[in-house]
Amino acid sequence: MTRRRVELGGVSVDVETEHGPFARYVENQFPAPVASDGGPDIAVRVRWTEGGSAALTPATVFPRWPAEVRADRHVWLGRDSVLCLRADDAPEIAIASTPGPPRRFELRFRFAPAAARLTRILRWRRIPALRRSRLSTLTYYAVYYPVWWHLEARGRAHPLHAAGVAVGGRGLLLGGLPGCGKSTLATSLLGVPGAELLSDNVVLHDGTQLFGCFEPLLLDAATRSHLADHVALTPVGRRHQYERDAYHAPHRNDGVPVAAAVMVARGRATRLERLAAADCARMLVAVNEAAKEIRRYHVLAALLALVEREGLAHFEQRIRHLDQLLDGVPCYWLEVRDGAPGEAVEVLRDLAGHAREAAG
């Protein structure tokens, strides 16, 4: 059994597991050492099982977590705990949680590839790769989602599926659906003097400021070559889909006010048009529900709110705080000509210039 303390968004998490590959994945994901003096804000225990019966009951999955009330086919409630035996569209993950302190989570991951004989014959050589592919999702449920819930429970921050770059102490918020190109634009902007990366995938906000949410960058060869001239990159040592390798890069973690918010999409020509702040906020909400990283979190948060009833207020706060964040902020719709991200980078450089002027 190994234990590692992680800090994310100012929240300390102790991750305990007996599964060596997951322990190494977490260590590579969060390489900065964190002092373990005092108790953590969150304690997470992760169990990895192989095969076995698909029958799911509280007694078979979480025998140490009493739960008497059945709220759903796969959701059970204890006196102060929630047991979710199938996590949303990741049925191999089961989660138990109780408020604490420290706030406690237990995860059981059941690795069981398709059992059909032909499938086994075709896939047996891919089993190690299949195991590795599950570690990213497991990290979201073991670290990111508990931290986001802890932050929301304290009224400190909400997650957005967006990229963020700070220029001159003010943030450019780049929202959009997965694959729209916001990560490419965010990393390209790091060539602007004084630019600092907040995040290329998920940012946090408290209704007044934008914060980074640490993750390694996933870079293809072309983006890596460009970025290496401006940012110190440290290879993590793993490859993700679309032939992208993971790299650590400096991130800014303290809060910055938003200078401009931009919704990114692909189009026939690169063009920029103004958006009403309220429309931009609702688009960001829609993107949150479409992007699986945030949508999965919102499903889990809804279940946790069954026990932590004060969490029901989060649904209203998410909208209200997002409106506050964008109040008085210029918002835009940016279409990027396919194959010509440089055109969009020039547009964003102008916005970044305005951000520097506003900061000055």
β-pairing, 217-219 vs 69-70, is unpaired
Look at residue 342 and tell me whether its pLDDT is greater than 90: no
pLDDT category at 46 given cuts 50, 70, 90 is very high
Residue 112's pLDDT is 77
CA 161 to chain centre: 7
**Cα-based angle 24, 223, 296 (whole degrees, multiple of 5):** 50
Instruction: Tell how many helices (H) and how many strands (E) occur in the chain.
Output: 11, 19
Residue 118's pLDDT is 42
Residues 315-331: tens digit of each pLDDT? 889 999 999 999 999 99
pLDDT category at 360 given cuts 50, 70, 90 is low
Alpha helices by DSSP H, the chain: 20-29, 58-61, 117-123, 127-139, 145-153, 182-188, 221-227, 277-290, 292-304, 314-326, 341-359
Residues 273-295: tens digit of each pLDDT? 999 999 999 999 999 999 999 99
> Which of 139, 119, 124 shows the shortest CA–CA distance to 246?
139
Cα(289)–Cα(296) distance, rounded to whole angstroms?
9
Look at residue 147 and tell me whether its pLDDT is greater than 60: yes
Residue 43 and residue 107 in contact, taking contact as beta carbons nearer than 8 Å: no
Residues 303-319: tens digit of each pLDDT? 999 999 888 888 889 99
Residue 54's pLDDT is 64
Residues with Cβ within 8 Å of 179's Cβ and at least 6 positions away in sequence, in order, are: none
Residue 235 and residue 191 in contact, taking contact as beta carbons nearer than 8 Å: no
pTM beyond 0.85: the answer is yes
Residue 117's pLDDT is 45
Residues 208-249: tens digit of each pLDDT? 999 999 899 888 887 887 777 778 889 898 887 767 889 998
Residues with Cβ within 8 Å of 187's Cβ and at least 6 positions away in sequence, in order, are: 197, 200, 217, 219, 223, 226, 227, 231
Is 313 exposed, middle or buried, given 0-12, 13-18 or 19+ CB atoms closer than 10 A?
middle
Residue 302's pLDDT is 93
Mean of the per-residue pLDDT values for the chain?
Answer: 89
SS3 state of residue 4: strand
Which element (helix H / strand E) includes 46?
A: strand 42-50
Name 350's bridge partners.
none
Average the pLDDT over 150-163 and give the result.
94
Among the listed ranges 110-124, 167-181, 214-228, which one has the minimum average pLDDT value? 110-124
SS3 state of residue 176: coil
Torsion sign, CA atoms 224, 230, 235, 241: negative
Residues 71-114: tens digit of each pLDDT? 999 999 999 999 999 998 888 999 999 998 999 999 999 987 65
Share of residues in the chain with pLDDT > 90 (%): 61
Cα(144)–Cα(13) distance, rounded to whole angstroms?
10
Residue 228's pLDDT is 73
